[in-house]
Structure 1
Amino acid sequence: MSNFANVSRRKFLVTAGASAGAVLLKGCVGNPPSATAPVATNVAASPSPVTAGDTPETTTIKLGYIPIVESAAMIIAQQKGFFAKYGMTGVELSKQANWASARDNVTIGSGGGGIDGGQWQMPMPHLISEGIITNGQKVPMYVLAQLNTQGNGIAIAGIHAGKGLGADIASAADYIKGFQANEGRKFKAAHTFPNVNQDFWIRYWFSAGGVDPDNDIDLLAVPPAETVQGMRNGTMDAFSTGDPWPYRIVADEIGFMAALTHEIWSFHPEEYLAIRADWVDANPKATKALLKGLMEAQQWCDDPANRAELVQICSGRNFFNIPAEILTPPYKGNYTMGDGKAAFNDINAGPLYWKDPKGSVSYPYKSHDLWFLTESMRWGFHKNTLTDFDVVQRMVDSVNREDLWLEAAKEAGFSDLPTSTSRGVETFFDGIKFDPANPEAYLTSLDIKRV
């Protein structure tokens, strides 16, 4: 732990606005909504006209997206006219083949035939900014908003039914670790891109149950379709995946769900809107206009009365290109788990876009950036760059532009806004706590780690 000896916790507290307890949104400190009552939405009472002083410097931007529920608010903002309402009439959404393509396309930018920004797993914007995953080419980016929470899970191939693979796998740890001796190969698990969200979710799940994801199993980055085929033929055992894949895996009897990420970390941060810093710096008014449109779309998405239309739009050929019935259950919070597990029937267990019982969904809390980078340190990712928490603090402060989010929200007339850049202490399903004021204590408390 010698690298952490010189951490200035007080400096981080001042910079990130952390506090010992969570500072929740006004009006969100009561009891969580029931299974049938949605989290409150807060759409502006009247349209916010674009005044002369607010006119965007440009009306066009090219944003990349992956066809999963995390991109829904961006799609709705374009299709329902929320971007246009604030003057961004030329927003182009570009479907990306995979995360590597999105990374490569933002590196070259829209001027080179790529994209200006879009939807990202975390901490990809920080890694791209530092040139860590772009062959040393630094492309500064800004995190501008969180797109959603939840909507992910851990899927297990059907051959493992009845082996105790649920949220807590402590009783199945020996089965998993003994797989090579019994089957001639290690237990094989996958995610869609290394060192980001879905990699972190499955690593946390394995390690909480006493399984070392680097030594006890084979953990790979594999495209979803290839993973699902492997689960069909018995060569892939587990998959960290997002909606609508969990429904398809269970409905097609490919396997079952061990856990939703909602069970691992309730109302956890998921994916984010991030844009190249050079575009934002050149177009600050357009950036805020884009954020206003996105925020209003997020509020629209959280209204259950709109979710049938959301499904109809996003499932269409131009976007997700899947049957509407596959997308409908997650938006109702209906998850059939399989393997004898109780189903979920709670709208708050599925993807949320504007608010949840813990606070804001859309606001990019710096404390969450800190967790993603701390988890990167935990697993020894990018150890030549992430050397201590002073470096991590610098990365968070240079990439996270929550100030622009707040400016846009206030200009648009939205209320119940966060008053701290920290959501406070986070508690995981295994009892581990992450206190943004003392990230080193979180690392110390973990049994399985590389640092």
Structure 2
Amino acid sequence: MSSSSVINSLNKGKIFDNNKNTLSNTKQWCQSCASFHLPRDHWKFMSEDMPQNPLEMIDDLVKMGIYKPEAFKMADMVNTADLRKALFLKMAGKGDSKREKLVLELAKQAGGLENAFAAAFGAKSGEFFNDTIQSGQFSRRRFLKNLAVGAALISLANCAPNNQSSQTEETSDAPPTNTSNLEKTELQIGFIPITCATPIIMSEPLGFYSKYGFNAKVVKMPSWGAVRDSAIAGELDAYHMLAPMPIAMSLGLGSTSFGVKLASIENINGQAITVANKHKGKVNGPADFKGFNIGVPFPYSMHNLLLRYYLATGGIDPDKDVKIRPVPPPDSIAQLIAGDIDAYLMPDPFNQRAVYEEAGFIHKLTKELWPGHPCCAFAASDNWISENPNTFRALNKAIIEAAGYAQDPANRPEIAKAISERAFLNQPVEVVEAVLTGNFEDGLGNTQSIPDRIDFDPYPWQSFANWISSQLVRWDLQGDGKVKQAITNEAYDEVGQEIFMTDLARELAVELGQTPPTDIYRTETLEFDTFDPTKPGEYVEEQIKKYGV
């Protein structure tokens, strides 16, 4: 039987009572909603005859059989703040453009999110709701857990998609978000299409931005140089950056000095050294890379610093025995296949994609070099933060919450599907899921299960900043001694604490119910040594003495 036949048969005898030839009060199949609900005049009933007392409406809805009394057991426990939270946090976005339009329209007609609740229950609640209904398209979803009061809340909850799950229903116990003080709500956030940007990317389709009152769009950038240049030009509001970039830019390394703050860490781990298949069986350790052309995404990247750290342990001078050059991550596989590079240390999904394309094999995950190392970050300029302090705080909070959601392995398949789309990573979902879940083929005939191949911990440890600064000093990437002059042994802590916003990240995480560390420094254990963040200068001296570079 066709779907239209099913609908027709369902409508027969449902819309009209055969005995009374009148409209029935039973639920009926709606073609526009693709679900059962009241007859076609139920919106008219709600708009024109809506009780002004929400409790009366509840009684009417129960009598009409729309909801069972059990659904309202928690209603007496719900206060005004809970309702605002449910309406504007639980219902906003979720990646459905129709729903986003509806919620924005509700807020707009109410004169702002803070006024929307009052508008829904005030003297003009029927007019307010009827206008909103006429402006949108709707479909059904299950009634919000434990909440039942309010005409706007009930109608929104009843008319959203059945199959939409809500990340905020399960993860957010924070107070209702105050969006009335945002200096800016239309935002553009630059990103490079890599899994390191997962919290920044997923916040658009999964609704974390809209939850905090933003109409934020992530903007795909071609390279890290382009991100840097767009940041300096003021073309973006905020950015996905490599963790060393805010330090390098603030110190004027590779560009004019430009103040940037690292607000939170996007990902830990999540990179790998991938080698072209033509070298299979010939590369077992760092010494075997001698003479290679090796790609990294940017000079001031964890990729470059970790690659240099690894090569040096095998007696390889990164500036003499190999050639390391910047390669935009999206170009890395093509260059590997063409033979322009022999290997690369890149962010995923390009390591896994090389295996998928049978172009290369994964030699080493960077989590083996430094478990829990930082990679990418959410950042904004000093000027933008100063001009938009409330917006910056709310935006950072949205991303920290998204990172917390991504920490749960159970959410990774959903996230992989959301960020794999053409507008974001533009990668096969199985490749992205292999990275996020840690269940992957390594290109050497092995099936690996490493759940923390990539992970998401937004806390910006000051020890991260000190290690990064120590390696900038060690390798003097500009070759003019500028880094060594800027970062003396006494200046490590000053540089880190000026640029890494650890205290704010902790504060926002606590507001979200997360449990961030209270310390700002920790001893970092790497594969070949241990880093004491209180002695970065001594650490560099020990490395040079041990390996000669």
| TM-score, structure 2 as length reference | 0.65
Correspondent of 2:513 among 404, 414, 433 = 414
Amino acid at match of 1:146: I
Measured at CA, do residues 176 and 302 of structure 1 come closer, stay the same or move farther in structure 2, by a change above 3 Å?
closer
Q: Is 1:374 matched up with 2:470?
A: yes
CA distance in 2, matches of 1:290, 1:449: 44
- How much identity, in percent, do the aligned residues show? 29
Matched with 1:103 is 228
Q: Helix, strand or coil: the match of 1:321?
A: coil
Q: Helix, strand or coil: the match of 2:204?
A: helix
CA distance in 1, matches of 2:547, 2:334: 30
Q: Helix, strand or coil: the match of 1:286?
A: helix
Measured at CA, do residues 428 and 148 of structure 1 come closer, stay the same or move farther in structure 2, by a change above 3 Å?
same
Q: Is 1:384 matched up with 2:509?
A: no
Correspondent of 1:351 among 445, 450, 454 = 454
CA distance in 1, matches of 2:296, 2:176: 43
Q: Is 1:405 matched up with 2:505?
A: yes
Q: Which has the higher helix share?
A: 2
How do residues 264-343 of structure 1 correspond to structure 2 at under 5 angstroms?
264-339=369-444, 342-343=446-447
CA distance in 1, matches of 2:517, 2:494: 22
Question: Any stretches of 5+ residues in structure 1 without a counterpart?
Answer: 1-40, 178-185, 354-360
Measured at CA, do residues 224 and 287 of structure 1 come closer, stay the same or move farther in structure 2, by a change above 3 Å?
closer
CA contact (8 A) 1:49 1:85 kept: no
Q: Helix, strand or coil: the match of 1:347?
A: coil
Matched with 2:177 is 50
How do residues 53-68 of structure 1 correspond to structure 2 at under 5 angstroms?
55-68=181-194
Q: Helix, strand or coil: the match of 1:190?
A: strand
Measured at CA, do residues 377 and 267 of structure 1 come closer, stay the same or move farther in structure 2, by a change above 3 Å?
same
CA contact (8 A) 1:62 1:93 kept: yes
CA contact (8 A) 1:156 1:257 kept: yes
Measured at CA, do residues 310 and 44 of structure 1 come closer, stay the same or move farther in structure 2, by a change above 3 Å?
closer
Q: CA deviation at 1:374?
A: 0.6
Matched with 1:91 is 216
User: Residues 272-303 of structure 1, C-alpha deviation per residue, up to 9 Å, x if partnerless?
Assistant: 11101111122222222112211221122222
Q: Helix, strand or coil: the match of 2:361?
A: strand
Measured at CA, do residues 62 and 230 of structure 1 come closer, stay the same or move farther in structure 2, by a change above 3 Å?
closer
Matched with 2:251 is 130
Q: CA deviation at 1:142?
A: 1.0
Q: Helix, strand or coil: the match of 1:104?
A: helix
Q: CA deviation at 1:191?
A: 0.8
User: Residues 53-104 of structure 1, C-alpha deviation per residue, up to 9 Å, x if partnerless?
Assistant: x7323223321100101111112222222222223x2222111111011011
Q: Helix, strand or coil: the match of 1:267?
A: coil
Q: Is 1:243 matched up with 2:341?
A: no
Q: CA deviation at 1:226?
A: 4.5
CA contact (8 A) 2:473 2:483 kept: no
Amino acid at match of 1:85: K
CA distance in 2, matches of 1:188, 1:351: 26
CA contact (8 A) 2:435 2:454 kept: yes
CA distance in 2, matches of 1:334, 1:141: 36
Amino acid at match of 2:240: Q
Matched with 2:536 is 439
CA contact (8 A) 1:83 1:289 kept: no
Q: Helix, strand or coil: the match of 1:204?
A: helix
CA distance in 1, matches of 2:223, 2:548: 28
Matched with 1:426 is 524
CA distance in 2, matches of 1:397, 1:46: 30
Q: Is 1:75 matched up with 2:201?
A: yes
CA distance in 2, matches of 1:418, 1:403: 10
User: Residues 214-267 of structure 1, C-alpha deviation per residue, up to 9 Å, x if partnerless?
Assistant: 111112112345443343244421111111111121222212111000111111
Amino acid at match of 2:542: S
Q: CA deviation at 1:128?
A: 1.6
Q: Is 1:214 matched up with 2:319?
A: yes
CA distance in 1, matches of 2:430, 2:207: 25
Q: Helix, strand or coil: the match of 1:363?
A: coil
Q: CA deviation at 1:43?
A: 6.7
Matched with 1:120 is 241
Matched with 2:150 is none
Structure possessing the higher relative contact order (Cα contacts under 8 Å, 6 or more residues apart): 1
Q: Larger deviation: 211-220 or 94-103?
A: 211-220
| TM-score, structure 1 as length reference | 0.78
CA contact (8 A) 1:154 1:259 kept: yes
Question: Any stretches of 5+ residues in structure 2 without a counterpart?
Answer: 1-167
User: Residues 138-158 of structure 1, C-alpha deviation per residue, up to 9 Å, x if partnerless?
Assistant: 321111100011110001111
Amino acid at match of 1:67: P
Q: CA deviation at 1:344?
A: 2.3
Amino acid at match of 2:513: F
CA distance in 2, matches of 1:315, 1:70: 13
CA distance in 1, matches of 2:409, 2:340: 39
CA contact (8 A) 2:330 2:350 kept: no
C-alpha RMSD over aligned residues: 2.2
Amino acid at match of 2:347: G
Amino acid at match of 1:151: G
CA contact (8 A) 1:63 1:93 kept: yes
